[in-house]
Structure 1
């Protein structure tokens, strides 16, 4: 993956998309039933989705004391991919804690079905629950004294853009992966994962306007009204990038087909921004 840095310098945009250096915000290896847990880094997005983890638990794994608990099988997505996790690890999530108490699809087999979840997203959620982070990890650049996403070996811009998005069957298109993870964390009651996903999204770049808008709609549809952080991120992003969005035919079509809370909030935020500029002058 391209280097994704959180820097303070001004950013520019290419027509119709976010430029590689743009700062987007102020502010996974799957755990399969068949093969255990691994530290191995993912390769491409599609290869990651098809692979499972190799054997041992790495030194950076957290919650070691929880690994002696029973194994729960999770059946994820329309393709019914199987994942396995320890009961005590899953219990850190109020959603799964309740599911294990009351909602087992098959209590004897300790099986939980998640038919609407994306397997790639659930893989990242499990990785966080075991290791406190998900691929690509957040690393500190001591020379720059900044936080960055770990690079992918031999990465290029196209591969980097693919790694930052995920195909979502529910919308039949690509969304920003960190946004989908944030919304999954909201469902599962994982507040620290929400914070991490939001921080990582602020380091992403090179994303098409159409993907940004689709992800913003998804964020509004999958977060409660009182959870303003992710929504505010998108509003600030579009405001800062208004010259690009003004030239975007996708944005124009979105506004014509609007009428959702997203566009009302965007209108108010833009008005406030213009007011701030006027006041400063």
Structure 2
């Protein structure tokens, strides 16, 4: 009887130890209790919704394609591009978004202040350039010529609205240069500014160097002497309410990786 009881006690102790070990195996190394099962470490999958500044359109379309090649289980839905202030307002208003990439820190901070971002990471920089019609018909050489050219012509100039990053940068540069411009229109994103110059609806516009590069022969670019006075820094973040946080984190990591930075550099973006 005594031997039988000892065997029973030993068996019970062993079972308890095994059960404890099994529970310990389900916690991650940080002790958060998240499962470390094969399923949790699998490659991300499902749909991914990204909101990004309009100036990122070409680069992010390419990044989305490369990301899908790396993670074929993730479908990047058509990216929503617009002015960063417009996108920030939509996100704060409840738009279902996984990743937000802003063209400036200010609009990302708005979303962060609302408790809607994880930890934003800076991933690129950009500066402004003057876009004119092909061949620069009015001979614009700098910001002063946007008020009146040397031949006495007053160009039709289009700018971004002051509340969006490209508009804020444009106003900073014009103020520093002591140049007053009366724009024929103020647009909600830089793509709209570029489109008006491309179509001939405006003689010139202030856009990013990346936009002039992407437009190719459709416009001519004129360097701005004090462009470094208004460098835009681009942050990106997974949103706290992301429907697919695993894919969102993977996309953010991809954009900030060496491969992602190479793509951004090819489109004219600078390092953060």
Shorter-chain TM range is under 0.3
Structure possessing the higher relative contact order (Cα contacts under 8 Å, 6 or more residues apart)? 2
Which has the larger share of strand? 2
Q: TM-score, normalised by structure 2?
A: 0.23
Q: TM-score, normalised by structure 1?
A: 0.22
